[in-house]
Structure 1
Amino acid sequence: MPYDPSAFPPFAVTVDLVVLTVRRHALCALVVRRGESPYQGRWALPGGFVRVDEDLEDAAARELAEETGLRVQDPGSGSVGAHLEQLATYGDPRRDPRMRVVSVAYLVLAPDLPSPTAGGDAHSVRWAQVDTLLEPGDGTEGGGDRPVPLAFDHDRILADGVERARSKIEYSSLATAFCPPEFTVGELRRVYEAVWGVALDPRNFHRKVTGTPGFLVPTGGTTTRQGGRPAQLFRAGGATLLNPPMLRPEI
């Protein structure tokens, strides 16, 4: 039986971005306030529709730049770039009130990123602590730093992205994506503490990360940027999988 495209209803494809960084020792996500309907005025993850002639990753990078002014740099360029990976695909027929829309979500991790600049169809943009964003909302603007509930199914996408980050730093070197090119063991420990939301014993942590083959490489330098005595500087090693893994403490 010949293929008949008209027998299938059309639908659109979007990309949504879970952009995570550590700011002031807290795990934060990038959110934009929508300037257009649907959900005008509601906070959402940055993202948008994929163009007809556009690759998915190109669309993700474009939407990030258009809506926030941030750019995902090429790690092969020699500069510090953000970690970008495809997270999951979301296709509930009711996830977008405009039409049938399938979203391909991406996870972006990077060191302490600058304050973003709103653009595109975003009315405003901000960093917000993940714990605040994932709190149940009541549909109204909350007090303090608490935003309105996320638009579409972005609360689910954000939760999935955060859990992906929390689980992957157990068995991979992904935690170093939150660090500058050279960092101390203390700075790396604070990344784990921010992502996992727990306090870790400094001595045990130091022993584990420096004793894991291929995880960290000494640079030969030291720093006093954290105060106190000079601390040894490291860079990420070549290992992608950690053996033994850094198991997440039970809360």
Structure 2
Amino acid sequence: MYNADQMWVAIDCLVFGYDVQEEKLKVLLFKRKIEPFAGQWSLIGGLVHYGEDIYSCAERVLKEFTGLENVFLEQLHTYGKAQRDPGGRVISILYWSLIKLDQLFKDIAQAHGAKWFDVDKLPEMILDHPRMVENGKDKLKFQAKNAPLGFELLPENFTMPQLLQLYQAIYGQPLDDRNFRKKILSTKLLVKQDKKDKSGSKKGAFFYQFDKEKYQELRDKGYHIEFALK
């Protein structure tokens, strides 16, 4: 238990992944091992050490639970209600991260009791973590309209239908496929490959890759695209 006369700063990491086969957006949760709330589902997180930068703490937490370094990691929000944690006065700074499912070091994640859940089928979580996930989903939708998205979630080679399915998973509703293709191609983000994916039909769908330089340029500059709903 915490000492109620002290104040702590915690880092919680909201980790999103995307399952291309299931066409589902995922969130990484773990079963908390300490009181309060031992045995309950939680975002991955930990307390900031004295003398530790908060971003360094976020990097440490992410590596501890996933084994990953040098992946997308960005501060999203701060949660500071005085009574948010019955264990003591804890201010939580939320970071969000995007990773490919196959990047996860499964043995490390399993050692911490971490597991992927569909974003729309999450178990009951501790404290204000459900609100954190909702804030993260809102951020993803905003990001999808205002900056490139997909490099951190999709395989290196992907088809236009797979990119569309990712955006539909983020929006939570179907998008007009012709409108989507036209607007995405207008950004010059995609490099068409010679090979096709013929697993879904004889005609097949061409593979694409992201132009990394263009991706970073537009990530820095931003843009705004409104995709039409189906």
TM range (shorter): 0.7 to 0.9
TM-score by length of 1: 0.76
Q: Counterpart in 2 of 1:36?
A: 34
State the one-letter code of the partner of 2:94. Answer: A
CA 1:194–1:13: 2 relative to 1, 3 Å: same
- Structure 1, unpaired ranges of 5+: 1-8, 75-81, 134-146
Does structure 2 retain, via aligned residues, the 8 Å contact 1:183–1:235? no
Does structure 2 retain, via aligned residues, the 8 Å contact 1:169–1:246? no
Q: 1:120-135 residue pairs with structure 2 within 5 A?
A: 122=112, 124-133=113-122
Computed over aligned residues only, the root mean square deviation of the Cα atoms, in angstroms, reads: 2.3
Equivalent of 2:86, from 65, 81, 97? Answer: 97
Deviation at 1:13, TM superposition (A): 0.7
Deviation at 1:225, TM superposition (A): 6.2
Q: Counterpart in 1 of 2:140?
A: 165
Seq. identity, %: 29
Q: Per the alignment, in what secondary structure is the counterpart of residue 106 of structure 1?
A: strand
Does structure 2 retain, via aligned residues, the 8 Å contact 1:185–1:234? no
CA 1:118–1:192: 2 relative to 1, 3 Å: same
Deviation at 1:163, TM superposition (A): 1.0
After superposition, give the CA deviation of every residue in 1:18-45 in whole Å (9 maximum; x if it has no partner): 1001122111100001122101111000
Q: Counterpart in 2 of 1:69?
A: 66
State the one-letter code of the partner of 2:167. Answer: Y
1-structure distance, mates of 2:57, 2:185 = 38
Q: Counterpart in 2 of 1:222?
A: 195
Does structure 2 retain, via aligned residues, the 8 Å contact 1:170–1:248? no
Deviation at 1:223, TM superposition (A): 3.5
2-structure distance, mates of 1:233, 1:227 = 16
State the one-letter code of the partner of 1:22. Answer: Y
Equivalent of 1:55, from 50, 53, 56? Answer: 53
Does structure 2 retain, via aligned residues, the 8 Å contact 1:176–1:188? no
- Structure 2, unpaired ranges of 5+: none
2-structure distance, mates of 1:248, 1:127 = 30
Deviation at 1:51, TM superposition (A): 0.8
CA 1:65–1:47: 2 relative to 1, 3 Å: same
State the one-letter code of the partner of 1:177. Answer: E
TM-score by length of 2: 0.83
Deviation at 1:242, TM superposition (A): 5.7
Equivalent of 2:110, from 90, 115, 118? Answer: 118
Q: 1:192-231 residue pairs with structure 2 within 5 A?
A: 192-212=167-187, 214-218=188-192, 220-224=193-197, 226-228=199-201, 229-231=204-206
Show structure 1 runs of 4+ deviating over 4 A. Answer: 241-244
Q: Counterpart in 2 of 1:245?
A: 225
Equivalent of 1:19, from 15, 21, 31? Answer: 15
Does structure 1 retain, via aligned residues, the 8 Å contact 2:146–2:223? yes
Q: Counterpart in 2 of 1:189?
A: 164
Deviation at 1:232, TM superposition (A): 3.5
Q: Counterpart in 2 of 1:144?
A: none
Relative to structure 2, which stretch is displaced further, 53-62 or 196-205? 196-205
CA 1:225–1:179: 2 relative to 1, 3 Å: farther
Deviation at 1:161, TM superposition (A): 0.9
